[in-house]
Structure 1
Amino acid sequence: MKNPALAVALSVALTPLFIAHAHADKLDDIIGSGTLRCAVTLDFPPMGFRDAGNKPAGFDVDYCHDLAKILGVEAEVVETPFPDRIPALVSGRADVIVASTSDTLERAKTVGLTVPYFAFQMVVLTRDDTGINSYDDLKGKPLGNTSGTYEAIALEKDQKSWGSGSFRAYQSQNDTLLAVAQGHIDATVVTNTVAAATLKSGKYKNLKIAGNAPYVIDYVSLGAKRNEYGLINYLNLFVNQQVRTGRYKELFVKWVGTDIPPADLVVPQVYY
């Protein structure tokens, strides 16, 4: 630039913008606010639910509190249905997603996802009277699942490829389980943790597990706004520390129990 005076003027004018941008960091904002707002789904036991006192509880709830404790702030659980997880983050209602969110490439176009903090195996859940004993038996049956979940996308895709039967989407996990129990649909696919918790609760006496669903392991991540690299890096390290310190296993045993082995977060040739 040939005009030194103009260069100085522009420099002075733009400096506050650069400074503001440099300090516009979500991690700093969370620490400064004194509160970490976690989007958590509370109809997905044992990951998230309401206890007998109507208080948020579960693996994801404890995970949120662990993160808040490390940051030196208070945890605020923002109850968020599965379909609203990303909107809650994008709209600013939540700072992070701690809601068993599958790490799909499609989601990564919208939000930043961490390394896996949990993993699920999928199983078929049906009634005793349907004659369904395996995933292959689902062909031609009325099926359904919870909108926006990994298993819903996979099940609906298969149902369409079979060219028979039907598929219905529900807004919550509770709605899906109730639909199976009451006969509105014959079966659904849920995580092994949900199936175990549902049968253990005794709420639905007529439900059973009918084998595994032939889906890949569902690895789930914490979520933050896509451009918040500092926060995402911190969350990745936090997940790492939860495993290294034994806290991950402790929470797994607390909420899932010992009937199911702790979910293996190792992805062969990727995460060791």
Structure 2
Amino acid sequence: MHSPSSPARRVQMALLGLLLLGAGAAQADQLDTILAAKKLRVAIDLAVPPYSMKDDKLRLIGSDVETAQRMAKDFGLELEVVPTTLTNRVPYLQTNKADIVISAFSITPERAKVIDFSVPYAPILVVVGAPRSMKITSPADLAGKKIIATRGTTNDQELTKIAPSSATITRFDDDATSMTAMVSGQADIWATSPMLLKVVNQKNPSRDIESKLTLKANLLAVGLRKGEPRLKEKIDGWIRTNLSNGELNTIYKKYHEAELPPEILHPAS
């Protein structure tokens, strides 16, 4: 038997300490880390109106911004907005640059393979918009035309599925650049959301852009890393509570001039 002070005994105790430390680290999850830091790091693309944008005083506003602000407040945490682009939403989660993503983030099977999603909290339509004078009534009318899309978005994915082979798809890295192309007349056809088409007309009424084709209705959710069940449960519970009490509907209506649809407010499961 080793004496309490023998070298072998000391090695054994040191190894036991390391094992216990490792076990404690394994049990700690992302929710514990967030609560200990007293801060919620939320990745948001800052130029996706009306989900996120800046007002005339350069304050960050929008339905996703207010959703993030209310969530952090209800959790008793400081909100840290982590600026991202639409193409970087998944990488920012995977590399721990952000705790969660609230940024017009559609639930897709491809994304669900690498990250987790909360229950849906809002919708977004995928449409093809063009000047009112341009005749587009079916995907076939896009043949030979130049269409723009924001790279890595569901808009890009849905457009790619239906665009004729003779159509040219030009992809920009963010909605702000796509918006500039539409407002300035560099492009006439954009696969995006209806509210962004409305912003084009606000910035340049002569463009007279309207929705021509609706490609898909997507559900938006909070994105988070795989393997964080406690964090997902907390966020899911918060969303359900704020759908039930009307807070998320109020936020959505403020910026989108419409009520949340029944499939969001009253999900089947």
By the TM > 0.5 criterion, same fold? yes
Give distance in 2, aligned partners of 1:81 and 1:179. 17
Q: Give how far 1:218 is off.
A: 0.6
- What's the counterpart of residue 129 of structure 2? 125
Query: What is the distance in 2 between the residues matched to 1:148 and 1:267?
Result: 28
Match of 1:95 among 94, 99, 116: 99
Q: Which has the larger radius of gyration?
A: 2
Residue pair 2:126, 2:154 contacting (<8 A) in 1 also: no
Aligned-pair CA distance for 1:214: 3.2
Residue 218 of structure 1 corresponds to 218
Match of 1:239 in 2: 239
The Cα shift of 1:204 comes to 5.0
For residue 74 of structure 1, what is the amino acid of its counterpart? E
Query: Any unmatched runs of 5+ in structure 2?
Result: 1-8
Shift of 1:266: 4.0
How many percent identity over aligned positions? 23
2:260 counterpart (259, 262, 267)? 262
Report the CA distance shift for 1:60/1:134 in structure 2 as closer, same or farther (over 3 A). Answer: same
Q: What is the match of residue 166 of structure 2?
A: 164
Q: Does 1:15 align with 2:20?
A: yes
For 1:173, the equivalent position in structure 2 comes to 175
Q: Distance in 2 between matches of 1:267 and 1:163?
A: 39
Q: CA deviation at 1:163?
A: 1.8
1:134 to 130, 134, 137: 137
**TM-score, length basis structure 2:** 0.86
Code of the aligned partner of 2:20: T
User: Counterpart of 2:240 in structure 1: which amino acid?
Assistant: N
SS of alignment partner, residue 40 of structure 1? strand
SS in 1 for 2:211: strand
Q: Which runs of 4+ in 1 moved over 4 A?
A: 8-13
* Equivalent pair of 1:123/1:195 in contact (CA under 8 Å): no
Instruction: Give the Cα–Cα distance (whole angstroms) in 2 for the partners of residues 140 and 263 of structure 1.
Output: 36
Superposed CA RMSD: 2.4
Q: Deviations over 1:230-269 (max 9, x none)?
A: 1111111111111011001110121112xx343443499x
Q: Which AA in structure 1 matches 2:109?
A: L
Q: 1:153 aligns with which of 144, 157, 162?
A: 157
- Distance across 2 between alignment mates of 1:126 and 1:56: 28
Aligned length: 258
Tell me: CA distance 1:263–1:251, structure 2 relative to 1, closer, same or farther (3 Å): same
So what's the TM-score if we normalise by structure 1? 0.85
Match of 1:192? 194
Query: What letter corresponds to residue 265 of structure 1 in structure 2?
Result: E
- Partner in structure 2 of residue 81 of structure 1: 85
